[in-house]
Amino acid sequence: MARGARIAVGVTATALVLAAGGYAAADVTDTVPDWLAPWAPGWVTLEPPPPTPAPFPTPDLTPAPDAAPVVGALDPDAPLPSADAVAALAASVAGDRRLGTSTSVVVADVLTGEVLADVAGSVPQTPASTTKLFVAVAATTALGPDRTLATRVVRTGPGAITLVGGGDMLLGAGAGVPEAVNGRAGLADLAAATARALAADGVTQVTLALDDTLFAGPRLAPGWEESYIRYVAPISALAVDAGRTSRHPYAVRHADPALEAARTFAGLLAAEGVAVTGAPVRRAAPADAVEVAAVRSATIRELVRYTVQESDNTIAEVLGRLVALERGEPATFEGATRAVLAEVAAQGVDVTGTAIRDCSGLHTASVIPARVLVDLVVRVAQPGRPELLPVAVDLPISGWQGTLADRLRGGPAWGLVRAKTGSLPGVTSLAGTLLTQEGRLLAFAVLADATGASGQDRPRAALDAFVAELAAVPSAPSGDAG
Q: Where are the beta strands (DSSP E) in 228-313?
A: 238-240, 275-276, 281-282, 291-296
pLDDT (tens digit per residue) in 107-155? 999 999 999 999 999 999 999 999 999 999 999 999 999 999 999 999 9
**Which residues, in sequence order, are CB contacts of 179 under 8 Å at separation 6+?**
none
pLDDT class for 326, splitting at 50, 70, 90? very high
pLDDT for position 478? 61
Q: Would residue 31 count as lying in a domain?
A: no
Integer Cα distance of 204 and 196 in angstroms? 10
Identify whether residues 158 and 132 lie together within a single domain: no
Average pLDDT over residues 331-358: 97
Q: Would residue 2 count as lying in a domain?
A: no
pLDDT for position 10? 28
Judged against a pLDDT cut of 70, whether residue 88 lies above it is answered with: yes
Integer Cα distance of 229 and 226 in angstroms? 6
Residue spans of alpha helices (H) in 29-163: 83-94, 132-143
**Which residues, in sequence order, are CB contacts of 132 under 8 Å at separation 6+?**
307, 308, 311, 316, 359, 360, 361, 420
Q: Is 420 a catalytic residue?
A: no
Cβ(163)–Cβ(239) below 8 Å: no
Q: Would residue 51 count as lying in a domain?
A: no
pLDDT for position 386? 87
Q: Would residue 480 count as lying in a domain?
A: no
pLDDT (tens digit per residue) in 397-431? 999 999 999 999 999 999 999 999 999 999 999 99
Cβ(125)–Cβ(370) below 8 Å: yes
Q: Which domain holds residue 179?
A: 150-298
From 104, 132, 420, 423, active-site residue: 132
Identify whether residues 279 and 266 lie together within a single domain: yes
Could you tell me the sign of the dihedral formed by the alpha carbons of 464, 467, 471, 473, in that order?
Answer: positive
Identify whether residues 226 and 127 lie together within a single domain: no
Domain count, the chain: 2
From 104, 297, 311, 429, active-site residue: 311
pLDDT for position 173? 96
Q: Is 429 a catalytic residue?
A: no
- Maximum C-alpha span of the chain: 89
Identify whether residues 312 and 460 lie together within a single domain: yes
From 104, 129, 360, 429, active-site residue: 129
Identify whether residues 119 and 163 lie together within a single domain: no
Lowest mean pLDDT: which of 92-101, 142-151, 189-198, 386-395?
Answer: 386-395
Assign residue 345 the CATH number of its domain. Answer: 3.40.710.10
Q: Would residue 8 count as lying in a domain?
A: no
Q: What burial letters (b/e) apply to 332-352, b meaning 16+ CB within 10 Å? A: bbbbbbbbbbbbbeebebebe
pLDDT class for 332, splitting at 50, 70, 90? very high
Identify whether residues 308 and 275 lie together within a single domain: no
| pTM, 2 dp | 0.83
Q: What burial letters (b/e) apply to 46-62, b meaning 16+ CB within 10 Å? A: eeeeeeeeeeeeeeeee
Identify whether residues 401 and 463 lie together within a single domain: yes
Q: Is 102 a catalytic residue?
A: no
